Chains A and B, each alone.
Chain A
Amino acid sequence: MDIKEIRSLIKMVMETDISEFELENAEEKIKIKRGGAQEIVHYQGAQQFPMTQHFSGQPAPVPVADTSTAVVPAPVAEKGEGITSPIVGTFYWAPAPDAPPYVEVGQVVEKGQVLCIIEAMKLMNEIEADYRCRILKICKENAQPVEFADLLFVVEPV
């Protein structure tokens, strides 16, 4: 299940009277529970580490990292390391709306290479790789709001 599918499921729950929804198959399990102003989503999948997301009923959720692991940096259960946001702003994966993204999953990036832009107060901040690594996962959608210490990428040193 990718983030788009999870989003659709949450939307479905929010738009109906469903108070609790659970889906389980061989590979993954997802539970969505309505709790007052917040929807609570527990997702446990084969590749993912267990993660709890709190959505406050608005289109662009502000994710909260897993409370059982350290936040900064974010170690991933399976493999790889996390690159987290150093500032509050909006994540963009390309330098311009019609330009190709800075990086793709599987790509190897050099130290100092720009991975993404976080826009804050009309300033474009380039986020660079601290070391040579391979991109395992891009954790944010284009134009998604990010907080300090939010997980942006999962990478493995190369």
Chain B
Amino acid sequence: MFHKILIANRGEIALRIIRACKELGIKTVAVYSTADRDSLHVRLADESVCIGPPPTLQSYLNINAIISAAELTDAEAIHPGYGFLAENSAFAEICENCGITFIGPTSEIMRLMGDKISARQAVIKEGVPILPGTKEGVKDGNEAIKIARKIGFPVIIKATAGGGGRGMKIVHSPATLQNAFATARAEAQAGFGNPEVYIEKYCLQPRHVEIQIVADKHGNVIYLGERDCSIQRRHQKLIEEAPSSAATPQLRKAMGDAAVRAARAVGYNSVGTMEFLVDKENNFYFMEMNTRIQVEHPVTEMVTGIDIVREQIRSAAGLKLRYGQSDIKISGHAIECRINAEDPVSFTPSPGKITAYHTPGGLGVRVDSFVYDQYTVLPHYDSLIAKLIVHAETRNDAIKRMARALDEYIIEGIKTTIPFHKRVMASKEFIEGNVDTGFIDRVVLE
């Protein structure tokens, strides 16, 4: 097991990793920008190293500074969290070359699964269903038209190197396809430095269901059930649940087996998430794989009882998985609400000083947050300030528990999305389980 781990991240995920390390008896090193000097992850780590000024490029994305910090503190491993360098294969490779264990898959696997086209090609080989679409990048407008007619409109044009919901264009008719294709390529070049795009069938209001997998370095891979992340705004997840109200045991097993097959085939050896679209007929299609710990991992932890970050660290240390697939049981229902420092209606960022802070408690309530009373939320970084997670016996109980917990949660001095979450918990559509990616537009914008 590692003696010391450096956490190359900030905010709530840095805290999450520090907690797992503490319980494993591993010493922790926090890195921080000058703006994060008073941040909770810096205070709770055993050691800390200031790595740069506030801009992320010079601090949390500053590979030289982070590797230097690891060498100065003799950290044997680096946990990248999510975002920042978590899916940066160059960073993983530098760690490998410096003799530092990168807590995640190998740089080779990251490159394979990080490129949407090569990922699709890899999983097709294992019989994982994908949306009808191109297996390679589309060369020009003429090829685009041919492909789109074959798939059938509506189609969606996506950047190969894109992600997080950026670089996508939906096209409903042949007339607008050529223009959309050209624009998509230009935007992809500008946004990701790579103009390559591919085309897929566009599913109307699908559900976004993802499978959590855990793998070790000995070829063992299991899945920990699914999460439903359909409630999104501009492709940013806002509310997640486990299990999905769309998943029958058969669907869960089919998706889980597919995910494990694909992971095993590419030699996956850490935690990861396979994202699927599920249409109204409960057909599932592979979208992409995320080779990192995800924001919404707590809902899976609540229904399985498994500490996913702990398993990730154990796996990186070369230990065998302690669970077989038959050991995994899904119990009860969990919901997570992402609390952002944003206006609850317009979602405009609202940084500033928190003048009053009180977290909810009681049975089945979990708060993963790095903010505290009198803490100043910074404008430099993303707006997630807390994750409120509840677990209960049934989905209805979980909704009531979340509503109760949201009522108890006090964050004053800044605007937060707590009122938005309260509206969702009270909405008939949510209670009835009619959640798909069109939910926000339908329900909240009225």
Contact = CB atoms under 8 A, between A and B. Distances in A.
A89 B72 contact: yes
B334 interface: no
B65 A87 contact: yes
Interface in B231-252: none
A145 interface: yes
A150 B68 CA distance: 15
Given A90-B72, A121-B64, A121-B68, A148 B50 contact: yes
Most buried by B among A64, A72, A90, A147: A147
Interface residues of B, number: 21
Given A89-B68, A121-B64, A148-B34, A62 B47 contact: yes
Contact of B34 (A37, A72, A90, A121): A72
A37 B48 contact: no
B37 interface: yes
B373 interface: no
B307 interface: no
Contact of A147 (B46, B50, B64, B71): B50
B52 interface: yes
Contact of B68 (A71, A87, A149): A87
Interface string B1-40: 0000000000000000000000000000000001001100
B68 A88 contact: yes
A148 B37 contact: no
A46 interface: no
B67 to A, nearest CB: 6
A149 B71 CA distance: 18
B51 A88 contact: yes
Most buried by B among A62, A72, A90: A62
B27 to A, nearest CB: 9
B46 A88 contact: no
B46 A149 contact: no
A67 B38 CA distance: 9
Interface in A38-63: 56, 58, 62
A132 to B, nearest CB: 26
B72 A56 contact: no
A145 B52 contact: no
A148 B46 contact: no
Contact of B67 (A90, A121, A145): A121
A71 B68 CA distance: 21
B388 interface: no
A17 to B, nearest CB: 22
A120 interface: yes
B47 A148 contact: no
Interface in B53-101: 53, 59, 64-65, 67-69, 71-73, 98
B53 A148 contact: yes
Contacts of A88: 49-51, 64-65, 68-69, 72
A62 B48 CA distance: 8
A29 to B, nearest CB: 25
Given A87-B64, A88-B68, A121-B68, A150 B50 contact: yes
Interface string A57-91: 01000101001000110000000000000011110
Given A67-B38, A71-B37, 6 more contacts: A62-B73, A88-B49, A88-B68, A120-B68, A145-B73, A147-B51
Q: What are the 3 closest A-B residue pairs judged by CB atoms, nearest first?
A: A147-B50, A88-B68, A145-B72
16 contacts: A58-B47, A67-B37, A72-B34, A87-B64, A87-B65, A87-B68, A88-B49, A88-B51, A90-B72, A120-B68, A121-B64, A145-B73, A147-B49, A147-B51, A147-B69, A148-B50
